């Protein structure tokens, strides 16, 4: 197994209400799950292949709880990536060279039944984890925006965090509000739903803990 490590920043938006039952071992509050994910890789490698300064993204949908499977996924890899970098990123994103169920990539890959052909395309992605803002644009495919949750009483920003000391994706996530639209190869749309901003530090064995 080739060793890999990624360190970067994430924005994810799913169709759940703020909080997302899945983060607490619960069942989806909408019956099924659909989500858009993007990551800016600040540092990373797969074996001898450097992966720094590249972006990745994905769209997911499950008809019921994620653990019941039958998922659908479309993966997007930064067009700036070389062939070696593309292969490395797709290996990681599909759970390869990873201990069983050790990362969010491996868990999701195990539940996906329909995997669309990967897209190598320009990915415009910016995210400020602490500020709870982010913007993803993949022309002709996906758009996602993240903003802070605001009080319905006075419009002030509300800050909340989820801490998962034993999680397979992050240790701490900032929670915000997200809006996403995907048009190809998968269609989905949701507005003002669960937004997750996190610093990710993952390797072949799972979350790299402080």
- Report how far residue 28's alpha carbon sits from residue 34's, in angstroms, rounded to the nearest whole number: 10
| Statement: residue 150 has pLDDT above 90 | yes
Confidence category of residue 15, pLDDT binned at 50, 70, 90: very high
Residue length, the chain? Answer: 210
The full set of domain ranges for the chain reads 4-201
Residue 210 has pLDDT above 90, yes or no: no
Mean pLDDT of 94-109: 97
The predicted pLDDT at position 81 comes to 98
Q: Is the pTM of this model over 0.95?
A: yes
> In 3D, which of 1, 30, 31 has the Cα closest to residue 18?
30
Q: How confident is the model at residue 176 (pLDDT cuts 50, 70, 90)?
A: very high
Q: What is the pLDDT of residue 116?
A: 98
Span 55-89, pLDDT tens digits: 999 999 999 999 999 999 999 999 999 999 999 99
Q: Is residue 45 predicted with pLDDT exceeding 90?
A: yes
Check residue 47 and give its pLDDT.
98
H-state helical runs in the chain? 83-93, 104-111
At residue 183, does pLDDT exceed 90?
yes
The most distant pair of C-alpha atoms in the chain lies apart, rounded to whole Å, by: 53
Q: What pLDDT, on the 0 to 100 scale, is given for residue 44?
A: 98
| Reported confidence tier of residue 16, pLDDT bands at 50, 70, 90 | very high
Query: Is residue 164's pLDDT more than 90?
Result: yes
- Whether the predicted pLDDT of 11 surpasses 90: yes
Contacting residues for 172 by C-beta, under 8 A, at least 6 apart: 161, 162, 163, 164, 198, 199
Q: Which two tokens stand for residue 23?
A: 């983060």
Instruction: Grade residue 19 by pLDDT with cuts at 50, 70 and 90.
Output: very high
Distinct helix (H) and strand (E) counts, the chain: 2, 16
């Amino acid at each position: 197994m080739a060793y890999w490590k990624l360190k970067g920043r994430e924005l994810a938006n799913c169709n759940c209400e703020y909080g997302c039952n899945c983060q607490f071992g619960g069942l989806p509050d909408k019956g099924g799950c659909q989500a858009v994910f993007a990551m800016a890789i600040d540092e990373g490698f797969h074996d001898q292949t450097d992966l720094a300064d590249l972006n990745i993204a994905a769209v997911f949908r499950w008809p019921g709880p994620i653990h019941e499977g039958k998922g659908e996924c479309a993966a997007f890899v930064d067009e700036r990536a070389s062939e070696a970098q593309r292969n490395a990123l797709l290996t990681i994103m599909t759970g390869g060279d990873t201990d069983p169920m050790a990362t969010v990539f491996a868990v999701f890959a195990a539940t996906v039944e329909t995997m669309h052909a990967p897209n190598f395309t320009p990915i415009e992605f910016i995210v400020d984890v602490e500020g709870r803002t982010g913007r993803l644009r993949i022309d002709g495919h996906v758009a996602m925006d993240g903003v802070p949750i605001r009080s319905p009483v006075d419009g002030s920003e509300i800050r909340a965090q989820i801490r998962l000391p034993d999680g397979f994706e992050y240790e701490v996530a900032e929670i915000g509000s997200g809006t996403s639209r995907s048009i190809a190869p998968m269609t989905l749309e949701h507005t003002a739903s669960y937004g997750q901003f996190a610093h990710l530090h993952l390797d072949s064995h799972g979350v790299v803990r402080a």
